[in-house]
Structure 1
Amino acid sequence: METKKTCTNDTILVYNFEELAPLLQTNKEQTIVVNFWAMWCVPCVKELPYFQALADAHPELEVVLVSMDFPAEIESTLKPFLREKNINLKVVLLDDPDANTWIDKIDPNWSGAIPFTIVFNNNKRAYFEQSFESLEDLENQINQTINN
């Protein structure tokens, strides 16, 4: 099986849930922010700049965007969209039709609606089934998660 490596949005890898799952765990103290989103989700698109600004302002964080868009649209639509929005974060695309199984594995309380964000390190984990209203809102939620 091909080994998939992390990358920026110049190369967007397509994962099934089994392949994505390792990105949702860590044994490090580093805080990781994973946001599930899609181009067709208006609140998701609105908050994307906050995730980019977060990564720019806090290089100690790892920020990953998990696109729920269609794999066939990566080259024609997703990459141009990310360039247009000046998003240069790590982006992977989740293509796994068995959402009823993997949603519960991520968080049994998650309805499956996006945007959905996970903030975690080796000691703490929080889930946000909401959109963030600003960079400050996002930073406050991360700080509350990690510092409590």
Structure 2
Amino acid sequence: MPFSLPRKIQLYAIVVLFIFTTNCSNSKSNTTANTATSEVNAAIPVYDFKTFEPLLYTDTDKTYLVNFWAMWCAPCVKELPYIEAFAEKHPDVEVILVSLDFPKDIDTKLKPFLEDKNINAKVVLLDDPDANSWIDQINPNWTGAIPYTILFNKDKRLYFERSFESINDIETQIQNLN
């Protein structure tokens, strides 16, 4: 007579196996996402304004979203998932996240923050102490408050001294460039 487990134990074993397999799969995909994050921002360039400024202009048909932010800025952090979702949905738009954090914090705070938040958009760090000068060069109407976003192409520029409330909010503003 062959050995047979009771029906309840068989069902229990199947459920446990399913949960274990699902958790392993999720863990694997999270690791993949985090690896992608660290690869994209493995080397975060540090610019002064003079070397950064060319990133604010184009003579091609490409559309750009340049967002000035910092880890300590709550509205900035709140809008990052919307910008990240927009970047994933619209790979034809160049997204540049300009961190205003300290260069000394890149490895100890900024990179772990980006990994924790699954930010894959390109991040650069702007380290120029003469903010009063470069803020006016970007837009004389900018008070210096962040988040601050510039949407532009070769024909038009739009400035936003506010946080975006959704991916649809960003998409609507991008449409205003055309």
Give the TM bin, normalised by the shorter chain: over 0.9
Q: Where do residues 59-74 of structure 1 align in structure 2 (5 Å cutoff)?
A: 59-74=91-106
What is the distance in 2 between the residues matched to 1:90 and 1:11? 10
* Cα shift at 1:68: 0.3
Q: 2:128 aligns with which of 96, 99, 105?
A: 96
Q: Where do residues 99-110 of structure 1 align in structure 2 (5 Å cutoff)?
A: 99-110=131-142
Instruction: Considering Cα pairs closer than 8 Å and 6+ residues apart, tell me whether 1 or 2 has the greater RCO.
Output: 1
What is the distance in 2 between the residues matched to 1:9 and 1:128? 25
- In structure 2, the residue matched to 1:52 is 84
What is the distance in 1 between the residues matched to 2:157 and 2:48? 22
Give percent identity, aligned residues only: 63
SS of 1:131's equivalent? Answer: coil
What is the distance in 1 between the residues matched to 2:43 and 2:159? 27
Q: Which runs of 4+ in 1 moved over 3 A?
A: none
| Structure with higher helix content | 2
What is the distance in 1 between the residues matched to 2:68 and 2:41? 15
What is the distance in 1 between the residues matched to 2:126 and 2:40? 15
Q: Where do residues 1-148 of structure 1 align in structure 2 (5 Å cutoff)?
A: 8-144=40-176, 146-147=177-178
SS of 1:20's equivalent? Answer: helix
What is the distance in 2 between the residues matched to 1:126 and 1:8? 27
SS of 1:35's equivalent? Answer: strand
Q: Which has the larger radius of gyration?
A: 2
CA RMSD of aligned residues (A): 1.0
What is the distance in 1 between the residues matched to 2:54 and 2:158? 17
* Cα shift at 1:9: 1.4
What is the distance in 2 between the residues matched to 1:105 and 1:69? 20
Spell out, residue by residue over 1:3-41, the C-alpha distance to the aligned partner (whole angstroms, 9 max, x if none). Answer: xxxx93111010000011010000011100000000000
TM-score, normalised relative to structure 1? 0.92
